[in-house]
Structure 1
Amino acid sequence: MSALVATDLDRTMIYSRAAGARDVDRCVEVYDGAPLSYMTEAAAGLLAALADRTPVVPVTTRTRGQFERIELPGGPFRFAVVSNGGRILHAGENDDPWRRRVVAAAATSATLAEVHADLLTRIHTDWVGKVRVADDLFCYLVVEPSRQPADFLAQWHAWCEPRGWSVSQQGRKIYAMPHAVTKSAAVAHVRDRLIDDGLLRPDAPVLAAGDGRLDADLLTYADRAIRPRHGELEESGWTTDNLRITDSSGIMAGEEILRWFADRSTESSAPDAPVVVHSEP
């Protein structure tokens, strides 16, 4: 049966040189005039073919502007989830009702201004290169991990968690995110819209991929999920029901994930993929 494929991008589908991209790989993002992100040629072909026959939803913590720098094979996509679920793009335009819903839900946590102000008291230019507020929803740091204080992440998490925020580190970036802003909730909303539009069967499985803590709710929500053998979830040994872990790591894991998507999206049935009735996370 057809499936809904929801996939994280950075270090899942696309890779920088630092994350393992090679000279032979296809550049899919240019930033400030220089190549930044890559896919293998095989992965690019697999993604284009997959998007041609089943709904594919890119799901990323990148803001809209950062996402739109990427030239993903198979695009343009009918739906995309950006800002970690804080914004949904439909045919390239903002889904404004969804945005209002997310903002209202996030208002139950500490404000972005409060979190940002506390963050500034905890960091130093010795190990932090950038501090950014993203989409008026969350904030993040770009750090030098080798100089980062060993106790920073745990201490900041301990401050953020009771105030309704989570903390996640993915490579050189450290995010603070309101609990209400999740990838799974946004994908559930997209799924409902695709069903309402007659583009997805109600019993179609959700297949998902991601590598970081901010992807964990999406992987748990999916009927079947896959993560690469690298990243934040790999480092913590994270797992969940119906989760597959790739054999490869780095950019080759992206190719393996796409082959897995291609195989599972055309299966009529599978013993480890029961049909479930989804609800909003």
Structure 2
Amino acid sequence: MTAYPPVLVASDLDRTLIYSTAALDLTMPDADAPRLLCVEVYGSKPLSYMTETAAGLLGRLAAGTVFVPTTTRTREQYHRIHLPCPPPRFAICANGGHLLVDGVSDPGWRDRVAKRLADECASLAEVRAHLVSTADPAWLLKERIAEDLFAYLVVERALLPDSWVTELAAWAQRRGWTVSLQGRKLYAVPKPLTKSAAVREVAARTGAELTLAAGDSLLDADLLTAADRGWRPAHGELADTAWNAPHVDATTSRGVAAGEEILRAFGDAVERYPEDREGGRRRNRAGDLAGS
């Protein structure tokens, strides 16, 4: 039996695979709602969910691939999640700032990230000071630093002026940072801090030749762009801005149902991988012969 290189599946978590109560988007009649599995508890209360069907799909997917949770969450926030699969060997936290190997941050990767940030963009202290000085207490609920890598605000979304976000994005752009608004959280993240860079590192370590990815926010755009195939939900920042790429598909469903749809798409792509790979090799050989 032919042994193929592993398939790497890198997926965002919040509002891609797992959903808070507010993000479930259960629009069907109550009697038709899917059974839900709680995968995260915070403050002694259930916080995040998947459908039970999605849980089964994830378990099968993780058993046959290099499954890499790829999140903007801090390590502490990530470790609150209990996905319905064996603990992944690799996980990416803090938007690529930490590469976890068996749950522990890789020190070599941390050093590489720190050097890039120092060389390529303004300091966290400068950006944080700007956020705090320009934010209006009328809509600012919390201000936080994540892993000493990036900053975010928790805001009252209905009161947050679009003009302030636009001005902040332009200010940050000139300093090598990017701004992303996800629900009630507004993130300011250094441009070199990307999920895709960490995913490429995992691919190099595992020998994966095919990378599949999914995500819903602008911070996932680089991850989807770098993948061989990608999926985005029909909700979220990418959907709101009509972001697309030729190799990225949008789901037809929204909310927690989109997470289930993405996992089905991952599974289908993994099943087709050996046939697609051999077909590609045959086409390449035919092209080589034709050109000889």
What are the Cα deviations for residues 237-267 of structure 1, in whole angstroms up to 9, with x where unaligned? 0001211110101100000000000000121
In structure 2, the residue matched to 1:257 is 262
In structure 1, the residue matched to 2:286 is none
In structure 1, the residue matched to 2:160 is 148
SS for the counterpart of 1:151 is helix
What are the Cα deviations for residues 65-110 of structure 1, in whole angstroms up to 9, with x where unaligned? 0000000111300000000000000011110000000011011211
Q: Partners of 2:203 and 2:241 in 1: how far apart?
A: 29
Alpha-carbon offset, residue 123 of structure 1: 0.8
Q: Partners of 2:89 and 2:41 in 1: how far apart?
A: 23
Q: Partners of 2:141 and 2:131 in 1: how far apart?
A: 14
Q: 2:8 aligns with which of 4, 7, 11?
A: 4
Larger radius of gyration: 2
**1:168 equivalenced with 2:180 (yes/no):** yes
How does 1:187-226 map onto structure 2 within 5 Å? 187-195=199-207, 200=208, 204-226=209-231
Task: Please tell me whether the aligned partners of residues 15 and 21 of structure 1 are also in contact (alpha carbons under 8 angstroms).
Answer: no
Q: Partners of 1:147 and 1:168 in 2: how far apart?
A: 17
Q: Partners of 1:21 and 1:149 in 2: how far apart?
A: 25
In structure 2, the residue matched to 1:278 is none
Q: 1:181 aligns with which of 187, 190, 193?
A: 193
How many residue pairs match? The answer is: 267
Q: Partners of 2:25 and 2:69 in 1: how far apart?
A: 20
In structure 2, the residue matched to 1:58 is 69
Bigger shift: residues 126-135 or 23-32:
23-32
Q: Partners of 1:274 and 1:90 in 2: how far apart?
A: 32
Task: Please tell me whether the aligned partners of residues 85 and 184 of structure 1 are also in contact (alpha carbons under 8 angstroms).
Answer: yes
Q: 2:125 aligns with which of 113, 133, 150?
A: 113
Q: TM-score, normalised by structure 1?
A: 0.92
**1:14 equivalenced with 2:18 (yes/no):** yes
Q: 1:98 aligns with which of 103, 109, 131?
A: 109
- Taking only aligned residues, the RMSD between alpha carbons, in angstroms, comes to 1.6
**1:231 equivalenced with 2:239 (yes/no):** no
How does 1:39-78 map onto structure 2 within 5 Å? 39-78=50-89
Q: Where in structure 1 are there 5+ consecutive unaligned residues?
A: 276-281
SS for the counterpart of 1:80 is strand
Task: Please tell me whether the aligned partners of residues 25 and 254 of structure 2 are also in contact (alpha carbons under 8 angstroms).
Answer: no
SS for the counterpart of 1:125 is coil
Identity %: 51
In structure 1, the residue matched to 2:253 is 248
Q: TM-score, normalised by structure 2?
A: 0.88
Bigger shift: residues 28-37 or 262-271:
262-271
Alpha-carbon offset, residue 194 of structure 1: 1.0
Judged with a 3 Å threshold, the aligned counterparts in structure 2 of structure 1 residues 240 and 231 are, in CA distance, closer, same or farther, namely same
Aligned residue type for 1:242: H
Alpha-carbon offset, residue 274 of structure 1: 6.7
Task: Please tell me whether the aligned partners of residues 21 and 38 of structure 1 are also in contact (alpha carbons under 8 angstroms).
Answer: no
